[in-house]
Copies of this chain bind each other. A is one copy, B any other.
Amino acid sequence: MTISLETPCLIIDTDILARNIAIMADRVEQHRSVKLRPHAKTHKLPSVAQQQIDAGAVGITVAKVSEAEVMAAHGIRNIFIAYPLVTASKIERAIRISEQIELIVGVDSLAGAQLMEQTAAKHGHTLQVRLEIDTGLRRTGVPYEAAAALAAEIAGMPHLRLTGIYTFRGALLAGKPTLDVAAAGLEEGQQMVQLADRLRAAGIAIADVSVGSTPTALYAAAIEGVTEVRPGTYVYQDRMQAQLGVCELEDCAGSVLVTVVSRPSADLAIVDGGSKTFATDVQPGTHPLQLRGFGHIHGLEDALLVRMTEEHGMVELGPMAQAADLKVGDQLRIIPNHICSTVNLHNHVVMQRGDTFERVPVLARGMLE
């Protein structure tokens, strides 16, 4: 089938999208005391965030103040900025948002907390904060062992209200990437609940224990004491999640439509999507996923998107794909390795409802600041 859309473009199947939203909402709901707060980094669209909330999510998660601004401006009323804000200007922007909607922000250092306290005091405002914990990913987050001391300091700041703790680590077990997402999720939940208990024993009120990624959310949610999960990718799913066993390729709502622009040889087709179209942050062969190529090509078993430059995708054709006799002008649909960073490359997505296609601007795309 040739679809009359300009390529390359990212198509979202709205039936699969709705199903993914419903399944996660239902599964989280089975854990009575756990709330769902999806990370909006995957779709970057207020309309999809609203669908998630309509299905039962308590609110959304974002990484940037600018993302929160876009989401709040489009009607999302409950947002967690899961990122440490460490400059006065960003803290002031967060305060402005929190005057309009329910907002929580991340903190992971004393310096950050002090600047937040000062800035909130100056504006006569109280900011809701959660303390980020490093549970092994080694990016932001106070080291696990140092969390109690920092939490005590923050709890004593009059213009900050410490609502709880959170972590992110994805599929990690004992500090190492793993395919055993169940064990990863259980370990993540247990670590965080133990820490929350320790903080409470030290007299610090901890309401929220927020964890989870798409692969680990439902396992972590099973741990008594976890109160919130923040999966993101599940909304569209992607090839990486399929490889992790979290979903099937049929559950991937997002695929990139490309056109064959050149057939220089029998074993090679060049398509009009390269590294400006498909994210390159999840490289082929990376441990432990060992993905082959930059995407899964629909309907051509042994075709592989092996190499890209900015505007060119090099598709290597095995014997079966060669038999398909691809011609210049033919279209292919490719499921990207990592949908979140791929969405970030697209100014628009095409929402497919059966045979109708609607071009929708990705409003919170490219929000860096």
Contacts and interface: CB of A to CB of B under 8 A. Distances in A.
Interface of A: 4, 6-9, 41, 63-64, 83-84, 86-87, 89-90, 108-109, 111-112, 115, 134, 138-143, 259-265, 268, 270, 272-273, 275-277, 279-281, 283, 308-312, 314, 327-329, 340-341, 344-347, 366, 368-369
A161 to B, nearest CB: 21
Nearest to A6: B369
Tell me the interface secondary structure of chain A in the complex: loop
Contact of A310 (B142, B268, B340): B340
Given A41-B311, A86-B328, A139-B262, 18 more contacts: A6-B87, A7-B87, A8-B368, A8-B369, A64-B311, A84-B261, A86-B261, A108-B264, A109-B262, A111-B327, A111-B329, A139-B270, A140-B264, A273-B368, A279-B280, A280-B281, A310-B344, A366-B366
The residue among A270, A328, A341 with the most chain B CB atoms within 10 A of its own CB is A328
B368 A264 contact: no
Given A64-B311, A311-B64, A329-B111, A259 B346 contact: no
A311 B369 contact: no
A114 B260 CA distance: 16
A367 to B, nearest CB: 8
23 contacts: A6-B87, A7-B87, A8-B368, A63-B310, A83-B261, A86-B329, A111-B327, A134-B264, A139-B262, A140-B262, A140-B264, A141-B262, A141-B264, A273-B368, A275-B279, A276-B366, A276-B368, A280-B280, A281-B308, A345-B345, A346-B368, A347-B366, A366-B366
B261 A140 contact: yes
A134 B141 CA distance: 49
B143 A108 contact: no
Contacts of A262: 84, 108-109, 139-141
Nearest to A93: B6
B279 A140 contact: no
A363 to B, nearest CB: 12
A344 B312 contact: no
User: Lowest 6 CB-CB distances: which A-B pairs, in order?
Assistant: A6-B369, A275-B281, A111-B328, A140-B262, A139-B312, A63-B311
A311 B270 CA distance: 31
A342 to B, nearest CB: 11
Contacts of A64: 311
A138 B310 contact: no
Contacts of A283: 280, 283
Given A86-B259, A369-B7, A310 B341 contact: yes
Contacts of A142: 264
Contact of A281 (B265, B310, B347): B310
Nearest to A106: B261
Nearest to A168: B309
A277 B138 contact: no
Nearest to A327: B111
Contacts of A63: 310-311
A1 to B, nearest CB: 15
A185 to B, nearest CB: 18
A138 B314 contact: yes
Given A310-B341, A327-B111, A368-B9, A270 B140 contact: yes
